[in-house]
Structure 1
Amino acid sequence: MTKVELSTSERLVLEIIRRTQISTRIELAKKLGFSTVQATKLTKGLIEKKLVVENATPSGVRGQPTKNISLNPDGLYAVGVSFSAEYMEIGLVNWLGAIKKHETVKLENAHSLDTLCHSIEAFVESAIKEYRLAKRKLCGIGISLPGDFLKGRRKINAVYFPEMEDIDLLETFSSRLPYPIFIENDATSASWGEFVAGAGRKLNHFLFIHIGHGIGGGLIIDRRVYRGANGNAGAFGAPFPDLSKARPSGTDLLKHLQASGEKVNDFADLRSLSIEGCSPLKTWIHNASQQLIGPLTVLARAFDPDAVVIGGRLPMHVLASLVKGVNTDAFCQADRHRLPVPDILVTELGDLGGVVGAASLCLENSVFADRAI
């Protein structure tokens, strides 16, 4: 596969265009400290590579129309993969964060890695054929895994996926798939997906709370992922260490509903449940929101974000109700009359945030400038 060859200056131009969404050569020159001639040369090069497009817009005055530059939606792609207990979600995502093709795969053979990789490769080949996608446009595969990284971010503490315990994840997936591989945990992936194409796309700083098998999260600080020393920043489930006790996690919700007689085995089974029509679900949402208020208050005051976004693997209607339960006067109660209170927002990507984020982080590594503009 041909790697995207970009100069540092080209990466900076792409970063500026991404942040502003639409720019002009003059604006690019000002932000970069380049001459207009240099900015024009860089822009023409990116147009030739079909990474940006330039459209003339009437300025309302005499003279040449304004030429606006934006990212070409068809410029680059990546594939994102995320997991739940019984399903694997795979998506072809363009570099603007839009899912072009999506597939849900039922997991069989006790999550055999060979079977997983075969399904991923089959999806990729199908997507390439369906969209007549040049392989040079596919930057790689981002794999979002539930679990906490061990030192070096090559292994995870695989509580929910024991078959991935004590293996070198990057080496394992890279040896089975003929594409560049990027590994991330599910909560960080979902937080970045929310930044690229969801509720956080206009925010500079936000906390993402990921309700999946456990309780995780991600931190976006100055429009960048903050991972911490080992890649585990955002382990917001720390206040709820006892897995045998009630906690605001997806696994706890499934256990609670099963104990109440509901036939649910995975998060997809929750989509058909009405909150008003399912008393155990309504009770869990109330209790979980009350459990979250205290820890989220501490996080809000510790990080001073623009917002707290709540998402993860639960269905949208459940997450929206959970947000409503948290977003009360009890949140930041002690000083909300004196200090700004961050917004509490619900995800806009739902359970596909991990797919979008994993693919987008894969693109991030290969395309955009690693510097704040």
Structure 2
Amino acid sequence: MTFVSQGVQPIIPVLLCGGSGERLWPLSRARHPKQYISLVDGNSLLQQAALRIAGVPQSAPPVTVANAHHRFLVAEQLQAADIAPGAMLLEPAARNTAPAVAAAAMWALEQDPEAVLLVAPSDHLVRDVSAFHDAVSRGMDHARSGYLVTFGIIPDAPETGYGYIRSGAAIADGVQAVDAFVEKPDAQTAARYLAEGGYHWNSGIFLFAAQRYLDELAAYRPDILEAVTAAWAGRQEDLDFIRLDEAAFAACPAESIDYAVMEHTRDAAVVPMDCGWSDLGSWGTLHAVGERSEETDNVLIGDVVAEDTQGSYIRSEGRLVAAVGLRDAVIVETADAVLVADRERVQDVKR
């Protein structure tokens, strides 16, 4: 789909659909990862993300970048949400976010040489959509003027499961320079970050001009740019999809935007954002954001009976699950597997 800008260039949303969601096994699987599952609020996470960004002012139809195996899931779910995509790009292999966004940028530049991209994971939760839209609006002019904008979540706990962004000098009201990207801290360090202030959780959401991103990729990771350029040149159209060249893309190094560009660029800016965000990265997180009983602190989904059980997330996809005398447990039942875990150990499900 080609669009013609009138006055201000529209923002092109890019939804990254390549995540595997391993930490939400057994519900999330390689062939059907979490972005295509309804975990919170009815719609799948992909549908929620697509509807959320459709409300961003001056937003064009979204571009999705997904694993080729999931192409029909993407198409069917967008159609069910009444979202017409601008393009659906297919990755023949998982190569992380830096190459995926590079391919989307190349598509966007063919539509508009001044295209601005709003890059977002398709498997995150945002409760306050208005606050999200307001944050994007604060970053728009800065992205158009050459900054690579990211969005930092205002922390409300010493979280050890997220990377952090340390903010620097003010650029404008509600926009700050990025001083540093910080790896996931231990509990003591996370508590210090919270006490000191000036640190935000790294949301993995970005806003920047497509050409500006490719220029920074050329400066810091020309090997990635070269491989994606070759994959884009060898692309093939397949029904409503665009398939990147398999051999060229497979030869591309796997790297995230953070490591490839954002940690190196001198023009990174952060917009602090308080929008009820979560990456839904574990069953423990699903317990935290779910509809919990005030009396028991339980989240119970499906055919579940819980007796003398507290602080637990119990989900049945089919059979009756009965729990007695449990504290802080996670039980997830599917057709072919059952997970039983301590709520504080659910990150270990990847093992």
- TM-score computed with the length of structure 1 as normaliser: 0.28
Structure (1 or 2) with the larger CA radius of gyration? 1
Greater helix share, structure number: 1
- TM-score computed with the length of structure 2 as normaliser: 0.30
